[in-house]
Amino acid sequence: MKQTNARPGNVRSLRSHLPPTPRESDGILVQEEELSSATAQHLFRMRCDCGRSWFELELKVLVRCPACHRLNRVHIT
């Protein structure tokens, strides 16, 4: 580590030997904000042989079609 004999009055003369500080550019703006949370849900799309499709939040083995009211066994594709 290099030692200097700088006095408080000589700080300007030391700064003249340093490279100039970069000016603001059109870079990335970084901001701090409070972090919150989000909730995710799986969404399952069901489709009956009659052509009707709908969504369920739970993967069930048996579902009833809302259009034709047939009971369908669920196959995962």
pLDDT of 62: 97
Q: What's at 21, amino acid-wise?
A: T
Residue 68 banded pLDDT, cuts 50, 70, 90: very high
> In whole angstroms, what separates CA 28 from the centre of its chain?
17
pLDDT in tens, 9-66: 555 555 566 666 666 667 888 999 999 999 999 999 999 999 999 999 999 999 999 9
Q: What is the DSSP letter of 44?
A: E
Residue 77 banded pLDDT, cuts 50, 70, 90: confident
Instruction: State if pTM tops 0.85.
Output: no
Residue 3 banded pLDDT, cuts 50, 70, 90: low
